[in-house]
């Protein structure tokens, strides 16, 4: 977070060893977040702290997602343990092609079970080839490539935030309905960057909060204004804006997320766009 309680980025931090953390950043935010981390690094407490950056020229991140992700990945890794023992948001290091070390994390942004694999760029093509060769008992290919458009529709369906849409430096975790990301100890002890605004929002509430919505068949896109619904069905008072919108692949209805003034963000409230 920044000093005003806004969200710098939604990055993933994994403790690899007692003195080693592995951090995955959004590519678009990597430069500003690295500056932020260096500026606020506690050099007095950790004088030997160093940052090592894997650039896009050296490392790639592949997401294997879906109900069969574990089975597919276990066929690809050379020395894979039973991935059932790897819990959500946990990571392990494994091997492919007998010598290249990978970082395998049980996470993803589709709302399904899945894994993200960090690997050297030199092995991406071979890794993808092996993934696509995995077949089921009927001889059918079990994995296929998809783009960010598919991921985006799935993460909206799961209610997962995306930086630049639901998250930015003017949005606190309380406003984004992400209070669960702040541990009980942190909420009690505070002391973290931006805690003053977070404490204020927890105690006094916020004017707008993130919520999900379901509409008709036509998608309601980002930036669309939202209004209260008059008795005749027409638009009344302006109460918020859509942050993400699509048509859900599961039930075929318009869905999305929006920032809506309280208390109009409550479940079951009828609004119009």
- What is the structure's pLDDT at 145? 92
How do residues 109-118 score in pLDDT, each as one tens digit? 999 999 999 9
How do residues 168-177 score in pLDDT, each as one tens digit? 999 999 999 9
Terminal Cα-to-Cα distance of the chain (whole angstroms): 32
Q: In whole angstroms, what is the distance from residue 236 CA to residue 233 CA?
A: 9
CA-based nearest residue to 96, from 58, 123, 68: 123
List of domains in the chain? 12-152 (3.30.1360.120)
- What is the band of 98 on the pLDDT scale with cuts at 50, 70, 90? low
The pTM score is 0.87
Q: Name the E strands within the chain.
A: 12-17, 20-24, 59-65, 91-96, 100-105, 114-120, 208-214, 225-229, 235-247, 254-261, 271-272
What tokens does 39 get?
């500026």
């Amino acid at each position: 977070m920044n000093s005003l309680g806004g969200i710098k980025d939604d990055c993933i931090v994994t403790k690899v060893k007692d003195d080693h953390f592995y951090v995955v950043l959004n590519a678009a935010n990597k430069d500003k977040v690295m500056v932020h981390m260096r500026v606020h690094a506690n050099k007095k407490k950790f004088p030997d702290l160093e940052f090592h950056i894997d650039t896009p020229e050296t490392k790639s991140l592949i997401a294997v997602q879906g109900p069969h992700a574990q089975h597919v990945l276990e066929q690809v890794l050379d020395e894979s343990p039973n991935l059932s023992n790897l819990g959500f948001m946990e990571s392990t290091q494994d091997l492919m092609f007998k010598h290249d070390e990978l970082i395998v994390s049980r996470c993803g942004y589709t709302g399904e079970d899945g894994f993200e694999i960090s690997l050297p760029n030199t092995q991406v093509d071979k890794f993808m080839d092996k993934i696509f060769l995995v077949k089921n008992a009927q001889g059918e290919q079990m994995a296929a490539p998809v783009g960010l458009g598919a991921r985006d529709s799935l993460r909206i369906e799961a209610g997962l935030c995306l930086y630049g849409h639901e998250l930015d430096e003017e949005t606190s975790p309380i406003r984004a309905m992400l209070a669960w990301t702040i541990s009980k100890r942190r909420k009690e002890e505070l002391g973290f960057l931006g805690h003053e605004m977070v404490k204020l929002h927890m105690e006094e509430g916020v004017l707008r909060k993130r919520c999900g919505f379901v509409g008709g068949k036509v998608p309601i896109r980002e930036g669309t204004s939202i209004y209260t619904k008059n008795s005749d069905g027409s638009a009344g008072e302006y109460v918020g804006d859509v942050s993400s919108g699509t048509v859900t692949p599961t039930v075929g209805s318009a869905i999305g997320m929006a920032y809506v003034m309280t208390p109009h963000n409550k479940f079951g409230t009828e609004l119009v766009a």
